[in-house]
Structure 1
Amino acid sequence: MRKEDITENLNRVRGRIAASCSACGRDPGDVILLAVSKTRPGADLRSAYDAGQRHFGENYLQEALEKQAELDDLDITWHFIGPLQSNKTRAVAEHFHWMHSVDRLKIAQRLSAQRPPDMPPLNLCLQVNIDGEESKSGVAPAEVAALAEAVAGLANVRLRGLMAIPAPRESEEEQRQPFEALTALLEELRERLPDQPLDTLSMGMSGDMEAAIASGATMVRIGTDIFGRRD
């Protein structure tokens, strides 16, 4: 993709974030733009970096590791946002700053045990299956508190918040329902675990970003509206 197009798209998305925050009385600086860069070549990520983008989210581990090697001269914050098998946790523990899709204690335990001691704790979000969809990963809302308490006790990871990918909905009012449910879950966790830095709601994508921000998102995951549609 042309560098100029990526820059223009990023500026458009940042404008949408600013407008959404203005509409609900929030500071745009409180919402991190996470560029979802799966299947995109390293050159596209470099173009986005040159346009000021620093946070990148990857779904496929081997592809991500190859891009990290290619772009190791850049000060990128790497987020793993896809499902993760337990036999692949070491690479995430060693090469990422954030992991968004924790839905089992075993995964968190392995990430903690495998995090190199010279690195800061790995930031974790618990993935919540907020709509109870059988086809989606994530812990059930009723099980979030127990998992969060267990993860909070691990040494080399830091529980930062929750992530969800709700089922598509038509109107912004309908889109806000699952996001507000996730926000309420995080508020409950903050009361239960006051010593944890529970400051992150990773929710909202290209089609429902405005509803997510209005509901309290602190991180929106945008791919298509930055890099175009995947082939």
Structure 2
Amino acid sequence: MTTIVRNLQLVRDRITTACVAAGRNPASVRLLAVSKTFGADAVIDAASDGQRAFGENYIGEGVEKILALRQQPALQALEWHCIGPVQGNKTRLVAEHFDWVQSVDRFKIAQRLSEQRPADLPPLQVCLQVNVDGGANKSGLAPEDVLALAKEIAQLPRLVLRGLMAIPEPAIDFVAACAVHTRTKALFDEINATGALPAPMDTLSMGMTADLEAAIHCGSTMVRIGTAIFGKR
């Protein structure tokens, strides 16, 4: 058993324990393995233990990895999420190679992704990034701007709006982490309750290695875990 496989199993145990504590079904939370800065071999190790969804922050690096791994028939079904900032000159790479993009925070970027998504690929799955705590160094929409952009993006072809993603500033403890995650969950529920979208959002991407328990307690449906699986960068 490799270190990565052992770590994966420990993370899955943490997710299950957190779900049980929150009175939730562990199957309601997806694990996204954040493989940024780690090579293809690390992804292969994780995939050998059944991990299928991987997140990349750096688009160029991610595309190189995707292209290399898709040469192997057993790895062609891996699901790739862009979770880093998307600049206008990188939208084509994202549209052509990734399955999800979780970091959309501007209509222009969404429009380019829609226009550049190849017709022979399934629609690109999209989350809106929310700067829920106003972190000065964080990308993302202000909470009050999310609904308007969600309605615009929901009308674009070749995209499917799936939900919200947040990367709040590190919290000092479980209670502080819950306070921030609760605000993201409330925004998610508020937008769905308006009935303004063609279909309700179903994905709330929040929680990383340090705060996955708090995120799950507050309703996360996808946790993005890098360090606890692959080690420190």
TM-score class normalised by the smaller sequence: over 0.9
Name the counterpart of 1:220. Answer: 223
The separation in 1 between residues aligned to 2:63 and 2:85, in whole angstroms, is 15
* Distance in 2, Cα, partners of 1:222 & 1:177: 20
Matching residue of 2:212: 209
- Residue 101 of structure 1 and its aligned partner are, at CA, apart by 0.3
Q: Does 1:7 align with 2:5?
A: yes
Pairs within 5 Å for 1:24-173: 24-72=22-70, 73=72, 74=75, 75-173=77-175
Q: 2: CA distance between counterparts of 1:195 and 1:184? A: 20
Q: Which moved more, 1:139-148 or 1:61-70?
A: 61-70
Structure-1 separation of matches of 2:66 and 2:122: 18
- Count of aligned pairs: 228
Deviation digits for residues 65-92 of structure 1 (CA, Å, limit 9, x no counterpart):
1111211120200000000101110111
Gaps of 5+ in 1: none
Whole-angstrom CA distance in 2 between matches of 1:154 and 1:194: 12
Which consecutive residues of structure 2, in runs of 5 or more, have no partner in the other structure? none
CA apart distance, 1:108: 0.5
Q: Distance in 2 between matches of 1:135 and 1:227?
A: 25
Name 1:190's counterpart in structure 2. 192
Q: Distance in 1 between matches of 2:135 and 2:30?
A: 27
Name the amino acid aligned to 1:129.
N
Q: Provide the secondary structure at the position in 2 that maps to 1:22.
A: helix
CA contact under 8 A between 2:4 and 2:229: conserved in structure 1?
Answer: yes
Please tell me whether the aligned partners of residues 208 and 224 of structure 2 are also in contact (alpha carbons under 8 angstroms): yes
Cα RMSD, aligned residues only: 0.9
Could you report, residue by residue, the CA deviation over 1:138-172 in whole angstroms, capped at 9, with x for unpaired residues?
00001011111111111110000000011111110
Mapped to 2, the partners of 1:83 and 1:212 lie a distance apart of: 22
**67-76 vs 44-53, greater mean Cα deviation:** 67-76
2-structure distance, mates of 1:40, 1:196: 36
- Aligned partner of residue 33 in structure 1, secondary structure: strand
Q: Deviations over 1:188-228 (max 9, x none)?
A: 11122353240000100000000000000000000000001
When the two structures are superposed, what TM-score results if normalisation uses the length of structure 1? 0.96
2:199 and 2:96 map into 1 onto residues whose CA distance is 23
Identity of aligned residues (%): 54
